[in-house]
């Protein structure tokens, strides 16, 4: 069960945004990721609880940020309920999309798991609902993912396979690289793995 800490920063000016303390593990029904976020001043900033089925679809998502809460799942596309900080109103949403995304590294692992690309496969288009900080506002985005390299790195626990993805935002054409080993993001724009106490899990 990997445990560790990511640092999150603005990918453009590198302003620190948060630290995300996480643990994750595959299970009999898929994969689960839970984390707590702290602001640069140490204040609690939010949390992530994401469970995937064995096909990589979101069985359950619960996000907290800025007093807002979103609960969602794969249902007729993806469906969610977003609740305001006062808890007085809840708005429902549904989009014919494949999954959710957001600032947490969990969503990069989840998308990679959903697509199951191989180095020989062509780029794949995916539609996601992005839940954007600081108020978890939903926005539909289209991306293209391609697995451009897979390398084995020697470690004390045996070879570690690292996948390099090229992710393209189809509305702007902006491209960036994401490096993932098992169920841990090693690097991505705005994300750095600062501490990992146990090796990444491997998916069957």
DSSP single-letter state for residue 59: E
What are 19-38's pLDDT values in tens digits?
A: 999 999 997 789 999 999 99
Residue 140 CA: distances (Å) to CA of 31, 50, 53, 104, 158 = 24, 19, 22, 17, 40
Structure confidence at residue 39 (pLDDT)? 95
What pLDDT score does 204 carry?
66
159 has pLDDT over 90: no
Average pLDDT, the chain: 94
What's CA 136's distance to the chain center, in Å? 14
Q: Render pLDDT for 63-108 as a digit per residue (tens, 0 to 9).
A: 999 899 999 999 999 999 999 988 888 999 999 999 999 999 999 9
Q: Is 152 helix (H, G, I), strand (E, B) or coil?
A: strand
Tokens of 153: 């790195």
Question: Which of 114, 130, 95, 109 minimizes the C-alpha distance to 34?
Answer: 109
pTM for this model (two decimals): 0.95
């Amino acid at each position: 069960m990997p445990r560790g800490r990511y640092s999150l920063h603005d990918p453009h000016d590198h302003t620190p945004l948060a630290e995300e303390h996480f643990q994750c593990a595959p299970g009999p029904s898929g994969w689960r990721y839970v984390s707590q976020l702290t602001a640069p001043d140490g204040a609690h900033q939010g949390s992530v609880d994401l469970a995937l089925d064995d096909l990589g679809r979101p069985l359950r998502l619960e996000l907290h940020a800025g007093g807002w809460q979103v609960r969602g799942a794969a249902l007729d596309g993806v469906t969610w309920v977003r609740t305001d900080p006062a808890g007085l109103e809840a708005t429902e949403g549904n989009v014919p999309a494949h999954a959710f995304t957001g600032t947490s590294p969990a969503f990069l692992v989840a998308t990679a798991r959903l697509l199951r690309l191989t180095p020989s496969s062509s780029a794949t288009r995916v539609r996601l609902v992005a839940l954007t900080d600081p108020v978890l506002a939903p926005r539909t985005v289209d991306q293209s993912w391609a697995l451009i390299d897979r390398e084995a790195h020697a470690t004390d626990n045996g070879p570690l396979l690292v996948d390099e993805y090229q992710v393209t935002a189809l509305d702007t054409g902006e491209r960036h690289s994401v490096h993932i080993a098992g169920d841990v993001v090693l690097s991505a724009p705005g994300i750095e793995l600062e501490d990992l106490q146990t090796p990444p899990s491997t998916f069957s």
